[in-house]
Amino acid sequence: MSSSQMSRRGCHREFGHEGAGRESGLPVAPRTRPAVRTRPAARTWAVAASAALLATALAGCGGADSSEPAAGGPGEFTGRGPITLATGKDTTRTLQGQLERWNKDHPDEKVTMVELPESADQQRQQFIQNAQTESDAYTVLNLDPIWVAEFAANQWVDALPAEEFPLDRMLPAVVRTGEYFGKQYGIPFNTNAGLLFYRKDLLDKAGARPPATWAEMKAACAAVAKLPEGKGVGCYAGQFDKYEGLTVNFSEAVASAGGTVVGADGKATVDTEEARKGLEFLAQGFKDGTFPKESSTYQEEDGRRAFQSGKLLFHRQWPYQWTLANTTDGSSKVAGKFAVAPLPGLAGPGKSSLGGLDLAISKFAKNKATALDFIKFFSNEANARANLEATSAAPPYTALYDDPALRKQFPYLATLKESLIGATPRPAVVRYGDATAAIQESAAAALSGSTSVDAALADMQRNLSAAIDEK
Amino acid sequence: MSVVSRATPRRTAVPRPPRTARRAGTGRLAAALLSPTLLVLGLVVAYPVVAAFRLSFMVSSESIDPETGFRVTTSSYGLDNYAAVFTGERFLRPWWNTTSFALVSVAAEVLIGVAMALVMHRAFRGRGLVRAAFLVPWAIPTAVSGLLWKWIFNSQGIANELLGAKVLWSSEGFQAWFSVVIADTWKTAPFVALLVLAGLQIIPGELYEAARVDGASPWRAFWRITLPLVRPALVVAVLFRLLDVLRMFDLPYVLVGPRKHSVETLSMIAFEEMSNLRFGTAAAYATVLFLYIAVVAFSFVKLFGADLIGRGTGSPQ
C-alpha cells in the first residue's frame, strides 16, 4: 500500500498523531512479542490482536480504493496542451523524428520525450514512482505488456475508448496484451514474438527440413551431428538464464505442448500433463545434451553470439537477430546461411510468447485529450511501418505483414506473422513480479536437475497461485 | 580519508583543558553553529530511518475487486512483517551470503591491500604510475566493474578461456559466490591500500633506522613497528569495508543477477520486496539488516579500536 493512497483518503493526518498511535500501541507490544516466538500458529492471533487494538487509532485508513470513482471512461479525456511521452531509451534514435512530425502539426500541443533507462526493471520503477507521487510528469506511458494488469489494477492508467482505435486491423493476440478485465488500457505500439532461427546450410546438407515438432528437431540435430561440419555445433538454445527470458521460454514450452500457465479464469494451471510435457522438453534437453550446457546462462545476447559464431544449429530468438546475424562485416559467421521458422511444439508448430510495447495514459496526467490524439497518431499504421523500416520492430497491424515491399526487405515477416497469430500473452497477473519469480524459480530448478519436473511444477503451481490470489 | 587523520594523532594529543566559563560560552556557540547541520542530518538521516521503522510494522493485505479488477488494499499495524522475515525460508541463506561475503572478501582485501600499500610505500622509479594503476579499480563505479566482470565470467568469456574450462559462473553454485568475492576484492583492495598507505607515511623513518641498528630483521620490523603503528588506519579501513560489504547490492545484482540464491544478499531481498510493492516487508528486511550492521560495527569498534570516533583524546595510553 502506498503512502500516497493513504494520504489521498485523508489518513495521513491520523498517522501523524504520534501520541495517539503510541498510546494504543503500547499495550499491544507485550502481547505480540511471545506471539513471534511461538510462530506461526500464534501469528494470526497476534495480527488480529494488534489490528483490533490499532483499529481505533487508524480508523478509516484501511479503506478500499473501490470506493473511489472508477478511472477512465471516454468522457474524461479533456484538456489540451503540451504532454510528455515516457518511454525506454530511444536506442534507435527514430522516436524523436516521429515526435517532431507531430509537434510541427500541433504547435500548441507539443510532445516532449522523457527518456527512461534502458532496463525494463528501472523503467517500471520510475513509472511506479511517478504514479505513487501522483505526478503529472508523464502523460503517455510506453508500457511493457506484462505491466498492463498491474498498472490497470492500481488505477495508475486510464481505460481507453477502444472503439476509437483501429484495433480490428491489428493482430488479435497483440490487442489482448492491452486488455484488463474487459477494458482496453494499452494500445499496441509494437509487438514481438519468438522465432526459430536455424542453420539452413547444415539442414540442407543433412537432408532435413525445418522442424515443426521437438522430435523432428532432435532428429535433425542427430543428422547434422553426423556431418563433418556439424562438429562442435550445439543443437538448440533459448534464453535459459534465471530471468524474464526463462519465463518467456517456459511459457512457450508449455503453450507449445498444449497447456497454459494461467487459465482463462485467471487461475494458475501449471500442474497439468501438458505443462509437464513442456517443462520435460526443456529439462530433458539439458539432461541429454540437446541444449549446450552453457545455454543455462544464456540471455538474448549470449545466445546471439553463440549462433553468430556458428555454435548453434537452432536458436529461439526475437526477430532482431535477423539483421545482426546477416551482417557481412565479419561479425557473423552465419550471414546468409540461416533462415527462420515458427517455434516447434510437441505435436505440431509451437506457440510463442508476446513481447512489445503498449501505449497507455497516466491517470494523473494533464491534457488527456491531446494524449488520446497523440496515441492515435503514434500508433497508426504509417508510423508502425516507419518503425519497421527503421528499426525492424514488429508492427501490430496485420496488413503490414503481407506487404510485398516489406516482405522483400524483411524475409522473416511471413513467419513472424504466423508466429504472432498463434502467440499467447504472458500471464496477465497483477503481481507479475511475484508470478515471474515463481516461474523462474521452479523452472530453473528443473532445468538444472536439482528438482524433478513433477516437484518443480507442484512448487510452481503453489507459488503462482499465491502470487495470483492476492493476499 | 579524514577519519585517518583524526584517528592517528591521538598519541600526541594534549590533555583537555579544565572547564571554564569561557569554555561554556564556546560550547553554546558550537551548539548554535552545529544546530543547522544537526537539523539537516535529522531530516535526511533520522527521519527516513524512523519512517522506515514505522513502515516495517505496516501489514498490508490486498485483494482484487472481482468486478472492476482494481486492487483493494487494507493495511494495519503489527509484527507480521517481522514474522515473515524470520519464518520465511528467504532469510537464512541471504544472511549467510551477506556474512560470508563480508568475512572472506574483507580478509582477502586486507591481505592484498596491505601488500599493495607496502609496494606503493617504497621509493622506486615510476612509483606514481604504480600508485595510479593500483587505484584504477577503486575509481570505477561498482555497477560498471560488475559489468566488466560479468563479461570476464561469461560462459564464452576470458576467465573460461584462460582456465581452459567451461565454468558457468553466473549459474547457481559456489562459483557464482566466488566470482563476486573476486570482483569485490579486485575493486576494493585499493581502498584498503590507500588508507594503509596513508598510515604508513606518517611512521617516522627513524624507527626503522633504529630497528636496523638494533639488528632487527625486516620481517620483525614489519610485525613490531609497521603493523602496530598502521593499526588505527587499518582498523578504519576494515570497518569501512565491513559496513560496505554487509550492505552489498549492486555487484552481485549486476554480475550474477537478481534472485540467484548463491549470491543473494539481504539488501537484494529488501529491494526485491520493494519492487514488488511490499513496502512493509521491504522495510522489515532493511531494518533487520540495519540492526545487524549496527551490531557488527559496534562489536568491531569495541574489539579493535575503541578510539575510532576520535573522542578519546584524553584517555590514558
Pairing, β A140-143 against β A83-88: parallel
From the number of C-beta atoms within 10 Å of its C-beta (0-12, 13-18, 19+), residue A313 rates as buried
pLDDT of the residue at B219: 92
Per-residue pLDDT tens for B74-94?
Answer: 889 999 999 989 987 789 999
Note whether B172 contacts A: Cβ–Cβ < 8 A: yes
- The reported pTM is 0.82
pLDDT of the residue at B67: 86
Cβ–Cβ gap B83/A128 under 8 Å: no
pLDDT of the residue at A275: 97
Q: How confident is the model at residue B310 (pLDDT cuts 50, 70, 90)?
A: low
Residues A252, A261 contacting (CB under 8 angstroms)? no
Cβ–Cβ gap A154/B70 under 8 Å: yes
Note whether B279 contacts A: Cβ–Cβ < 8 A: yes
Cβ–Cβ gap B276/A152 under 8 Å: no
Cell of B47: 527521519
Integer-rounded Cα radius of gyration of chain A: 25
Residues B10, B307 contacting (CB under 8 angstroms)? yes
Closest CA of chain A from B255, distance in Å: 12
Q: Is B248 helix (H, G, I), strand (E, B) or coil?
A: coil
Residue B98 CA to residue B109 CA, distance in Å, equals 16
Helix orientation angle between A244-256 and A273-287, rounded to the nearest 10 degrees: 120
What is the rounded average pLDDT of the residues B140-145?
94
Closest CA of chain A from B173, distance in Å: 11
**B 53-82 near A (Cβ less than 8 A):** 58-65, 68-80, 82
CA angle B242–B247–B252, rounded 5-degree value: 105
Q: How confident is the model at residue B242 (pLDDT cuts 50, 70, 90)?
A: very high
Cell of A397: 497491424
What percent of chain B lies above the pLDDT cut of 70? 90
How confident is the prediction along chain A (471 residues), in pLDDT tens digits per residue?
Answer: 333 333 333 333 333 333 333 333 333 333 333 333 334 444 444 444 443 333 333 333 333 333 334 444 445 799 999 999 999 988 778 889 999 999 999 999 999 999 998 888 889 999 999 999 999 999 999 999 999 999 999 999 999 999 999 999 999 999 999 999 999 999 999 999 999 999 999 999 999 999 999 999 999 999 999 999 999 999 999 999 999 999 999 999 999 999 999 998 889 999 999 999 999 999 999 999 999 999 999 999 999 999 999 999 999 999 999 989 999 999 999 999 999 999 999 999 999 999 999 999 999 999 999 999 999 999 999 999 999 998 888 999 999 999 999 999 999 999 999 999 999 988 889 999 999 999 999 999 999 999 999 999 999 999 999 998 865
Closest CA of chain A from B247, distance in Å: 20
Sheet holding A111-116, edge to edge: A111-116, A83-88, A140-143, A354-361, A187-193
Cβ–Cβ gap A297/B171 under 8 Å: yes
Alpha helices, H only, chain B: 2-7, 21-41, 47-55, 80-87, 92-121, 127-139, 142-152, 158-163, 174-201, 205-213, 218-221, 227-246, 250-255, 266-275, 279-304
Three-state secondary structure string covering chain A: CCHHHHHHCCCHHHHHCHHHHHHHHCCHHHHHHHHHHCCCCCHHHHHHHHHHHHHHHCCCCCCCHHHCCCCCCHHHCCCCCCEEEEEECCCCCCHHHHHHHHHHHCCCCCEEEEEECCCHHHHHHHHHHHHHCCCCCCCEEEECHHHHHHHHHCCCECCECHHHCCHHHECHHHHHCCEECCEECCEEEEEEECEEEEEHHHHHHHCCCCCCEHHHHHHHHHHHHCCHHHCCCEEEECCCCCCHHHHHHHHHHHHHCCCCCECCCCCECCCCHHHHHHHHHHHHHHHCCCCCHHHHHCCHHHHHHHHHCCCEEEEEECCCHHHHHCCCCCCCCCCCCEEEECCEECCCECCCEEEEEEEEEECCCCCHHHHHHHHHHHCCHHHHHHHHHHHCCECCECHHHHCHHHHHHCCCHHHHHHHHHCCECCCCCCCHHHHHHHHHHHHHHHHHCCCCHHHHHHHHHHHHHHHHCCC
Per the listing, cell 580519508 goes with B1
Does residue B311 surpass a pLDDT of 70? no
Cell of A22: 503510541
Cell of B152: 570476464
What is the rounded average pLDDT of the residues B42-47?
93
Does residue B258 surpass a pLDDT of 70? yes
Cα dist from B44 to A129, A456, B38, whole Å: 19, 45, 10
Does residue B306 surpass a pLDDT of 90? no
Which position has the higher pLDDT, B145 or A8?
B145
Per-residue pLDDT tens for B208-241?
Answer: 999 999 999 999 999 999 999 999 899 999 999 9
The neighbouring-strand residues paired with A316 are A196
Residues A91, A118 contacting (CB under 8 angstroms)? yes
Instruction: Determine the residue among B55, B77, B151, B170 to mutate to test chain A binding: the one whose Cβ has the most chain A Cβ atoms within 10 Å.
Output: B77
Q: Is B310 left (phi over 0), alpha (psi -120 to 50) or beta?
A: left
pLDDT of the residue at A34: 36
pLDDT of the residue at A428: 86
What is the rounded average pLDDT of the residues B88-105?
92
Closest CA of chain A from B286, distance in Å: 17
- Chain A contacts of B74, Cβ < 8 Å? 1, 62-64
Chain A residue with Cα closest to B275: A125
Pairing, β A354-361 against β A140-143: antiparallel
Please state the φ and ψ torsions of residue A140, each to the nearest 5 degrees: -100, 130
